[in-house]
Amino acid sequence: MTGRILGISGPTVSTGLKGLKLYERVYVGHALLTGEVVRLHEDKAVIQVYEDTRGLAIGEPIQGVGLPLTVRLSAGLLSGMFDGLQRPLEKMRSEMGPYITTSREIAAVDTMKKWRFHPLRKPGEEVGPGEDIGYLEEDSFRHYIMNKTSARQKVSWLADGDISVNDPLGGFENGGEIMGHINWPVRGARPYRNKHAPSLPLVTGQRSIDFLFPLAKGGTAILPGGFGTGKTILEQAVAKFADVDIVVYTGCGERGNEMAEMIDEFLSLKDPWRDRPLTARTILVVNTSNMPVAAREASIYTAVTMAEYYRDMGYHVLFLADSLSRWAEALREISSSLEEMPGEEGYPTYLSSRLSSFIERAGVVETLSGKVGSLSMVLSVSPPGGDFTEPVTQACLRATGSFLMLDTSLAYRRHFPAINWSQSYSLYARDVADHFETQFSSEWTRLQSWCRELLQKEESLREVAEILGAEGLQDADRLLMHVAEMIRADFLCQNSFTEDAFSTPEQTFENIRGIRSFHDQADAILKRGVALEEALRRARETV
C-alpha cells in the first residue's frame, strides 16, 4: 500500500493514501523515514515523522506498514543504549561515525548473538498465558521466556543449549513456535493479572528521601525544580544506588554533554547492591535536545514498554525520565504543527490525560504467571522560572504519590540534594513505615516525626532570630537551631563525590539517632542550669 506526499509542515506530512489506520506506522520518502499516523480526514491522512524532514519533497512515496509503532522485546536489551525509536546508538555510531544522520532501520539487539537457553518445562506440559517456559542467561539475570499467547498451550518440543533470539526455542502442539522475542506497541500497556498497593520501600541511598520522604517500589515521584537545582544529578544518583533489579533511564531532550558524562561514569561504576558492573542492570534511552523533536515524544513510551517487559518477569524495575517538561514541549510543538486547539500556555488540551495514562503504567502487579513485579517512576520536571503552578507540574501532581521539590536557594548554598523539607511530601510514608520498623528499628517512625517537627520549629524561630539576633533567643531555642543546623549539614546534605553519596538505611538510622541523642544530652545538661556552650561541649563528649 503506497501513496505520495501531498504536503509538508515541519515534522508532519500529509498524504492521500487510503486505508491507513490511526497510529499506524509508515515509511516516508525515499529515505524511508519512520512516521506514525496521527490524524485521519476523509480525503487525507496526517503523519508525524520521527526524524528530520529536511530534504523531503512533495510527491515522494509513503508506505503503510499495517502495524503501530512497536519495540522489540528480547534478551540483549540490558546494557544497551537506544534512541527514541529503539535503534541502537552504538551500532549507528559504528556505521555513520560520531555524527548520526538520518537513519535506516536497525535491529535493536544483535540477532546473531547466542544465548544459553534452559527449559523449565517438558514436552507434553501445559502452560498458561504469561507462564514461564524457560529462561536465557542474560549476563547475571534470568531472562524468562513466557507463553506469549492468550490461551493455554501444550508444549511439543523445546531446545536446550545456545540459541539466538530469532530462532525458535520450542513449539506448541497446535503448530505455533516459541520465540525468544516479541514486538509490542509502545502506546499500549502490557497486561497483568492484578495491581497491588505499594508496601516495600524503594531505597535510593539519599537520606533526605529515604528518611523524610520515602518512595515505594511501584510508586511514582516527581522532582520539580528550576534551572541549576540538581535534578539531573539527583536522578543519576538514584539510578546508581537504587535498590532495584533493573534501571531504565530516559534522557528526554537533555543536553548531550550531560548524557555523555553520565554514560562515562556508569561504565566505571559497580552496582552497590550486587557484585556486577552498574551497566549490567541499566537500559539507556537517549533523545537529546539536538535529536529530532518528534522522536522525543515517543521516547518515554519506548522506554516504559521495555521496563514493563522486565517487570513481567517478576523483577523490580525503576524508570527515570529527565525531563518530562522537555517531553511536554515536544508534544506542544507537534500539537501546534497539527493545528490543534491550544490549552494553557500553548500545551494541548489533552496534556493532563496523556500524562496520567502514562504515569498509571507504574505500580506493583501480579503478573499473568502469578509472580509479583514492580515498576517505579521518578520523573524530573523543569518548570520555567521555577513556577510550580505551570501545567506540566500540576498535571504530574494529580497523578503521582511523591513531590520532592528542589529549592533554588538550597542549591545555590551547595546543599545536595536540594530537596525543600517544608514543601515536599510523600504519600508512601505510612505504607512503608512497617517495613522500616520491622527491618531496622521500632524507633524509625518516632525519629522521623521528631526530625520533621524540629525542622518546622526551626523555620519559625529563624524569622525571630533575623529580627532579634541569635543572642535574643533563649538557650533552649538556640539549642534547637543548632541541632537543626546539624540535621541540615550532617544528615540531609550529602556529598555526591565521596562515599557519603550513598547511605544504607542502617547508616541513615544511626546518623539521625546520633543527632537525637546529642540533642537529648545537651537539653538535659541545659536544664541543670549549665550555659549553652558548655552543654554542647559536654554533649559532644558524651555522644
Summary mean pLDDT of the chain:
90
Domain 2-68 coded CATH 2.40.30.20? yes
DSSP 325-387: HHHHHHHHHHHHHTTPPB-GGG-BTTHHHHHHHHHTT-EEEE-TTS-EEEEEEEEEE--GGG-
CATH of 115-185, one of 2.40.50.100, 3.50.4.10, 3.60.15.10, 3.50.50.60: 2.40.50.100
pLDDT at 102: 62
Same CATH topology for 193-427 and 444-542? no
**CA-to-CA dists, residue 427 to 117, 164, 373, 424, 433, angstroms:** 42, 45, 21, 10, 11
Residue with the three cell numbers 512515496: 61
The DSSP secondary-structure symbol of 243 reads S
Fold of 444-542: 1.10.1140
Identify the DSSP state of 1.
-
Counting Cα atoms < 13 Å in the Cβ hemisphere of 295 gives 24
Cα distance between residue 12 and residue 36, in whole Å: 9
Domain ranges for the chain, please list them: 2-68, 115-185, 193-427, 444-542
pLDDT for 321: 94
384 CB-near residues (< 8 Å, 6+ apart): 390
Q: Is the pLDDT of residue 253 over 90?
A: no
The answer to whether residue 519 scores a pLDDT higher than 90 is yes
pLDDT value of residue 521: 94
pLDDT value at 178 more than 90? yes
Q: Beta strand pairing status for 316-322 and 246-252?
A: parallel
Q: What is the CATH number of domain 193-427?
A: 3.40.50.300
- What is the pLDDT, as a whole number, of residue 108? 87
The model carries a pTM of: 0.93
pLDDT digits (tens, 9 = 90+) for 400-453: 999 999 999 999 988 999 999 999 999 999 999 999 999 888 899 999 999 999
Q: Average pLDDT of 324-352?
A: 90
Q: What is the pLDDT of residue 291?
A: 78
